[in-house]
Chains A and B, each alone.
Chain A
Amino acid sequence: MVDLIKRAKELIETSTVKVVIGYEQGTANKTRALFVEKAEDADKLMFDSRCVQNLAAYVTKREVKEKGKMAITATLPVMRSIIQLASEFQVNDNNLLVLGITPESKFIEFGNLVEVETFVHQYTIEIDARNKEMLDKLEKMSPAERWKFWIDELTPCFKCYACRAACPMCYCHRCTVDFNQPQWIPVPSHELGNLEWHIMRAIHLTGRCIDCDACYNACPLSIPLNLLTKKMLEDAKEHFGGYQPSLKGGHLMSTYKPDDKENFIQ
């Protein structure tokens, strides 16, 4: 990542950007987010296979945004998130520069978000084999079995909202769960509160989730909650030909086709 470090230094020295968001060595063989504001700190920047946290979650964080123009180290999932965020008017070329890292771990810089989009669109969003298998397994179950599966999985959830915090798409200042007139979703973490929170979350991410697994990686209890969004991703493919984050907008769930197909409406 020599060229990444070099570029980061330039950007700071020429004050093209105020902060470069990247990865650094963390504690106990973890890697973690680094915010480079002084050129010398750029040497701490690193990248390897452990760097899976979706840094896009930081570009909407107030204290980070307030620093001024940002540059972000972006793997493919992060780039996808950035494009989705741009299509939702949360970032733009004036406040964000993307320092890309290709799936082959090569450094690649982009002049603007359009270039990022073009790059991202070379790859379709595919669910990994292990989770695909899990989805199939669940779909083969009877509804009753699935119900039991999810109650068992979701009941331990203690609603720390790490999944929400880690998700770049969950940038709302007031999440539906924080809405209390009326109280759409029970605040306490009991079966109902947990079930409805996770259903709501999955629905809100439908057509927006880019399958980075940040939610799952963040969960201190390793609840497979990402299966819900993955299922929505698969359905979007099946029913509407799938989606890619796009600067043109046209969000999957805020648009429609007159000939959308279904087989359950009488």
Chain B
Amino acid sequence: MAEFEPKIVAFVCNWCTYAGADLTGTSRIKYASNVRIIRFPCTGRIDYMLLLKAFDEGADGIIVSGCHPNDCHYTSGNFHARRRWIMFRSLCDFTGIDTERIKFSWVSAAEGAKWADIVNATVTSIRELGPYTDYKKVAKYPEKEVSHG
């Protein structure tokens, strides 16, 4: 059987990490192709519910990334985001959601190499963890056998 290829969704801000990933490209640094980037104006816009949605729909791992503290294009969007992440991540952990599968990072527009490292590291660790079957099990209602009650 072929090696497990994790599906990884990246939620990134437009001004730092998206631009950073652009730099990875212009610098021709190669990295694992498992990741798909979704572009947000700011980490402050990233709704925690979207992270859960990603797991619902079958993601095995998630990357959330934006501007370093003090570098936010909107001055404080990432500060707000950080506070939410602290609480959200802890709640996930408390409910037993595998927080190893959610990687938070700051990647600036100048850190093309760092972006590649983050992606590769994430892909490697998710490969080791395997598919997120726990969540998939509860998520895909239609596949559950029909039963009483």
A binding-site residues for B, Cβ under 8 Å: 138-139, 143-151, 176, 184-186, 188, 190-192, 195-196, 198-200, 202-203, 206, 228, 231-232, 235-236, 239-240, 253-258, 260, 262, 264-266
CA distance A4 to B148 in the complex (A): 52
Is there an interface contact between B95 and A147, defined as CB atoms closer than 8 Å?
Answer: yes
Question: Given the known A-B contacts A199-B52, A228-B91, are A253 and B105 also in contact in the complex, defined by CB atoms under 8 Å?
Answer: no
Is there an interface contact between A184 and B49, defined as CB atoms closer than 8 Å?
Answer: yes
Is there an interface contact between A203 and B88, defined as CB atoms closer than 8 Å?
Answer: yes
* Residue from B48, B52, B96 in contact with A150 in the complex, judged by beta carbons closer than 8 Å: B96
Q: Interface centre among B83, B85, B118, B144, by most A CB within 10 Å?
A: B83
CB distance from B139 to the nearest CB of A (A): 5
Is there an interface contact between A231 and B86, defined as CB atoms closer than 8 Å?
Answer: no
* Residue from A138, A151, A256 in contact with B80 in the complex, judged by beta carbons closer than 8 Å: A256
How many chain B residues touch A (CB < 8 A): the figure is 39
Q: Please, which residues of chain B bring their CB within 8 A of the CB of A191?
A: 137-138
B56 at interface by CB-CB < 8 Å: yes
**Chain B residue with the shortest CB-CB distance to A239:** B86
- Is chain A's binding surface mostly helix, strand, loop or mixed? helix
Is there an interface contact between B94 and A192, defined as CB atoms closer than 8 Å?
Answer: no
CB distance from A20 to the nearest CB of B (A): 38
Q: Please, which residues of chain A bring their CB within 8 A of the CB of B86?
A: 235, 239, 260, 262
B binding-site residues for A, Cβ under 8 Å: 48-49, 52-53, 56, 69-70, 76, 79-80, 82-99, 103-106, 118, 134, 137-139, 141, 144
Q: Please, which residues of chain B bring their CB within 8 A of the CB of A255?
A: 83
Q: Please, which residues of chain B bring their CB within 8 A of the CB of A262?
A: 82, 85-86
Q: Please, which residues of chain B bring their CB within 8 A of the CB of A176?
A: 49
Is there an interface contact between A260 and B79, defined as CB atoms closer than 8 Å?
Answer: yes
CA distance A200 to B48 in the complex (A): 9
Q: Please, which residues of chain B bring their CB within 8 A of the CB of A258?
A: 69-70, 79
Q: Please, which residues of chain A bring their CB within 8 A of the CB of B70?
A: 258
Is there an interface contact between A196 and B91, defined as CB atoms closer than 8 Å?
Answer: no
Is there an interface contact between B138 and A265, defined as CB atoms closer than 8 Å?
Answer: no
Is there an interface contact between B76 and A256, defined as CB atoms closer than 8 Å?
Answer: yes
Q: Which 6 pairs from chain A and chain B are nearest by CB? A: A147-B96, A146-B96, A191-B138, A256-B79, A266-B105, A265-B104
CB distance from B85 to the nearest CB of A (A): 7
Question: Given the known A-B contacts A265-B104, A266-B105, are A203 and B87 also in contact in the complex, defined by CB atoms under 8 Å?
Answer: yes
CA distance A231 to B89 in the complex (A): 12
